[in-house]
Amino acid sequence: MRKPSSERRAEIMETAIGLADRIGPDRITTEMIARAIGVTQATVFRHFPKKGDIWASVATYLTSRMREAWDRPGAVDGTAVARLEGVVLHHLRLIAQMPALPAILVSRELHGDNAPLRLTLQRAMGNFHQRIRALIVEAIAAGAFRDDLPADDAAFLIIGMIQSLAMRWSIGGRSEDLVAVGERLLAVQIAGFRAAPPPGVDA
């Protein structure tokens, strides 16, 4: 089963991503990848000189997939709030398709060894934050969100909701419908952003 290198490389990356979900990103061996594909271990090294090169490629692949999801043109119309919901739910759908994503993004395989790679990932996450923050700012300007809402922190709350939901979903047996639960939590969070300022003090 001979394949052109580009195909084989893609196959190796996809296999690594798939295994990362079940085994854990840091525990995958080149032998496992080779076995899953149906080639010998040495073949893996023909296409990726170092094992770390696989993860570097995976990282750029994942960041591009994420950017795709964030910048999709379909999310251009509608209110800012609707677009915010669109971006968040789209990201959740991406995670549902690729459950290893959160685990890979925080793995030492990517963060521990390789400094430029770490920067790439941090920049990607930063972009996500900026995107959400911009939508929140827009929603405030449109009067949908309270005008004393700190957009920066609010964006972190949204991202936190996504991340922790994904983690819970991953550690639990994936029994729930990730997107459905996310939709519910997002509604609660957005309701809090929408509401008028708190009436008074409580202490």
What is the contact surface with DNA in residues (CB under 7 A)?
1-5, 8, 28-31, 39-43, 45-47, 49-52
Q: Tell me how far apart the alpha carbons of residues 55 and 15 are, in angstroms, rounded to a whole number.
A: 12
Q: Tell me how far apart the alpha carbons of residues 190 and 145 are, in angstroms, rounded to a whole number.
A: 8
Asked if 156 touches a copy of itself (CB under 8 A), the answer is yes
For the chain, give the longest Cα–Cα distance: 71
Q: Please identify which residue in 150, 174, 176, 180 interacts with a copy of itself, judged by CB under 8 A.
A: 150
Q: How far is the CB of 41 from DNA (least distance, A)?
A: 5
Candidates 30-38, 59-67, 130-138, 193-201; binding stretch for a copy of itself (CB under 8 A): 193-201
Q: How far is the CB of 52 from DNA (least distance, A)?
A: 6
Q: Which amino acid is at 51?
A: K
Q: Tell me how far apart the alpha carbons of residues 93 and 107 are, in angstroms, rounded to a whole number.
A: 21
Nearest alpha-carbon partner for 164 in 190, 138, 139, 185? 185
The two tokens of residue 146 are: 């309270």
Asked if 174 touches a copy of itself (CB under 8 A), the answer is no
Cβ nearer to a copy of itself, comparing 29 with 164: 164
Nearest alpha-carbon partner for 83 in 129, 132, 155? 132
Q: Tell me how far apart the alpha carbons of residues 192 and 186 are, in angstroms, rounded to a whole number.
A: 10
25: helix, coil or strand?
Answer: helix
Residue 52 interaction partner, one of DNA, a copy of itself, none, beta carbon < 5-8 Å per kind: DNA
Residue 195 interaction partner, one of DNA, a copy of itself, none, beta carbon < 5-8 Å per kind: a copy of itself
CB-side neighbour CA atoms (13 Å) of 194: 11
Residue identified by tokens 């594909």 is 37
Measured CA distances, 163 to 17, 31, 117, 128, 200 (Å): 18, 31, 20, 12, 32
Binding mask of the shown chain, residues 54 to 73, with x at each position contacting a copy of itself by CB under 8 A: --------------------
Q: Please identify which residue in 78, 141, 177, 180 interacts with a copy of itself, judged by CB under 8 A.
A: 78
Binding mask of the shown chain, residues 81 to 110, with x at each position contacting a copy of itself by CB under 8 A: xx-----------------------x-x--
- Which residues here bind a copy of itself, judged by CB under 8 A? 23-24, 26-27, 78-79, 81-82, 106, 108, 111-112, 118, 122, 142, 144, 146, 149-150, 153-154, 156-157, 159-161, 163-165, 167-168, 171-172, 184-185, 188-189, 191-199, 202-203
